[in-house]
A and B are shown apart, each in its own frame.
Chain A
C-alpha cells in the first residue's frame, strides 16, 4: 500500500500526522496545537482557509523584506546603469581604466536628466521586486524539492482532495511519538499515523 514500494525501508520518525474531516475540525485543532506550544508543524488543505494564519499563530511572512531589497537593488541598478551610460564619459574607475560611460545628448536635455530615467527606474524596481518575491518565496518554502517524507503516506494524499491534515514534526522540542499521536487523536483526527523519513 505504500506510495513507492521500491523505496529503501523507512528508518527515522519524521512526523506524526492526523487527518481531519472538515475545516472547522482542522481549524480548532490548529488553534489548540498553537496554544499547546508546538513550533514545527503545518496544516495541509485542498484550498486556502481564511484565518488559518491566526489559528496557527503564524507570523507575517518575511518575503516582503526580500521583495523590498529587490526593489532597492532594482532602483539602484537603474540609476547607476543609466547615469553611467548617459552621462558617464567623465567617470573613470581607476582599476578599470579602459571602461568609461558615454555622454549621450538626447534632444538637448541635460546629460543626467532624472526625468527620462524614471520610467526605467520604475520598471527595474518592479522587475527586481518581482524576482525577490518569487525567489524569496521559493527559498523560504524550501523549494524546489523532489520529495517530502509526508508523501510516503497514502492518507496524506487526501489533502489534495477532501482531507485536512495536521503534521507535527519530530524536530519539534515538544514532540513525543506516543503522546503527540494520542494528542492529535484527542483533537478529533479521524486517522493518526507516524510518518517515517
Chain B
C-alpha cells in the first residue's frame, strides 16, 4: 500500500543523526555547576540565617528535590505502562525515557541531603534555641521540615500519638531506604535489559521488560504514593488526603511527559533523530501531555472539592492556610496549569507543531514547580512571598538534575537500536 512512509535505515542510524556531540556535554556541566552553586548559596544562607531562614532553606530545597525526583519517577512509571501495553510506536523514544529515569538518584540524594540538613540545623546550628531567642513573632517558626520530628511540637498531641507507629524516625528512614532500593532495582533492570538488547540483538528483552512492568507498576505505585505521604503530605502531619498519592502520580507524569516532549522537540530542532522521531511521535506526546494535564486538574480539583464539601476542620485547615496566605498562587495553578495548556493543545496542528509543544512543555514544567511549591512551601507560616532562598533552593536541585540529564543525553545515541519493533515505530502514523 502506498501510504507506508519510506525510511532509510542507513540514514536513520547514521552517526550524524544519533549522536549529539560534546557541546551538549559542556552546556550540561555548566548547568550542573550553576545548580550546585545555587544549592550551596541556599545552604549557606540557612546556616547564616535565623530559624525562619533555616526553615525556608529546608522547604525550598525539598521542593527542588521533589521536582527533580518527579521527572524520573514519572518517566519510569510511564515507560512501564508503555512496556506493559506493548506500545510499538514508542520504542525509538525509549532511550530518552531511560535517560530521564536513570537519574532518579539525583532527587533521592537531595531528599537525603535535606533530611541530613535538618538534623544539622537542629543539633549543630542551635536552631531551636534561636527560635526562642528570636523576637516572639505571631507565627513561631522552628528550623524543622518534618514538624512531627520536633518533640516540642508533638508533646501532648493526641493525633501525633495516634500516628506515631507510622510517623517515627526509624520507620521513616527505613521506608526511605526501601523506596530507593525499589526504584534503583527497577531502573537498573530496565537499563540492563535495554543495554542487553542493544548488544546482543535479543528480542526477548522486550518480552521480559513487558512482564516485569506489570509487577513493577504495582510496586512503583505503592512506593511513589507512600513517598508522597512521607515527604510532602506529612509535612503537615495533622492533615491527610487519600487522593495525595494519585496527585503525585498525575503531577509527576505530566511533568515528565512535558520534559520528554521538550527533549524530543530540541533533538528535532538540532537535526537529530531525523526519521526516527517524527511529527507523528510529537503528536502522540502532545496528546499525552494534554491528557495528563486534564488528569492533573481532575485529581487536584477532586481533592479540594471533597475536602471543601465535607468541611472537616483537620482537613480544611490545610487548604485554609494555602487560600489565606497564597491566594494568588491558588488561582494561578488552575488557570495556568490547566486552562492555558488545555486551550493551547486543543487544535490538532498545535500538538504536531514542535514550536507550540516546546513552549507548552516549558510552561508546564515551570507550573509544575509552582504546584509542588504550593504543596510544600505554605508550611512556613507567615512568610507568604517569594524570597531569594526560594528561588535558589528550588532551582538549584532542578538545574543539577538538568545538567546531569544533558550530560547523560550527550553520552549515548539518542535512539536505541535492535528493538524488534523499530519498523513499527518508524512507520508510525496518526490517522485522526
Contact = CB atoms under 8 A, between A and B. Distances in A.
Interface of A: 23-24, 27-28, 31, 50-51, 53-55, 60, 107-109, 115-116, 118-119
Contacts of B3: 27, 50-51, 54-55
Contacts of B311: 107-108
B270 interface: no
A50 B1 CA distance: 10
Query: Which of B305, B311, B429, B431 gathers most chain A CB within 10 Å?
Result: B431
Interface string B303-314: 011001101000
Contact of A107 (B304, B309, B431): B309
Given A23-B1, A24-B1, A24-B2, A115 B429 contact: no
B166 interface: no
A115 B2 contact: no
A51 B2 CA distance: 9
B1 A115 contact: no
Contacts of B431: 50-51, 53
A186 to B, nearest CB: 18
B348 A60 contact: yes
Nearest to A119: B305
Given A24-B2, A28-B2, A115 B348 contact: no
A118 B348 contact: no
A118 B1 contact: no
Contact of B305 (A24, A50, A60, A115): A115
Contacts of A54: 3
Main secondary structure of the interface of A (DSSP, over half): helix
A70 B206 CA distance: 44
Nearest to A48: B431
Contacts of B171: none
A68 to B, nearest CB: 8
Contacts of A51: 1, 3, 429, 431
B189 interface: no
Nearest to A55: B3
B63 to A, nearest CB: 27
B301 interface: yes
A28 to B, nearest CB: 6
A189 B54 CA distance: 81
Given A24-B2, A51-B3, A118 B309 contact: no
A118 B301 contact: yes
Contacts of A31: 2
B345 to A, nearest CB: 14
Interface in B288-331: 301, 304-305, 308-309, 311
A176 to B, nearest CB: 28
A24 B3 CA distance: 9
26 contacts: A23-B1, A24-B1, A24-B2, A27-B1, A27-B2, A27-B3, A28-B2, A31-B2, A50-B429, A50-B431, A51-B1, A51-B3, A51-B429, A51-B431, A53-B431, A60-B348, A107-B311, A109-B309, A115-B304, A115-B305, A115-B309, A116-B305, A116-B309, A118-B301, A118-B305, A119-B305
Nearest first, the 6 A-B pairs at minimum CB distance are A51-B3, A50-B431, A115-B308, A115-B305, A24-B1, A27-B2
A63 B242 CA distance: 40
Nearest to B308: A115
B50 to A, nearest CB: 39
Contacts of B1: 23-24, 27, 51
Contacts of A53: 431
Interface in B376-426: none
Given A55-B3, A115-B304, A116-B305, 5 more contacts: A23-B1, A27-B1, A27-B2, A50-B431, A51-B431
Contacts of A27: 1-3
A50 B429 CA distance: 9
A115 B348 CA distance: 31
A107 B431 CA distance: 50
B331 to A, nearest CB: 12
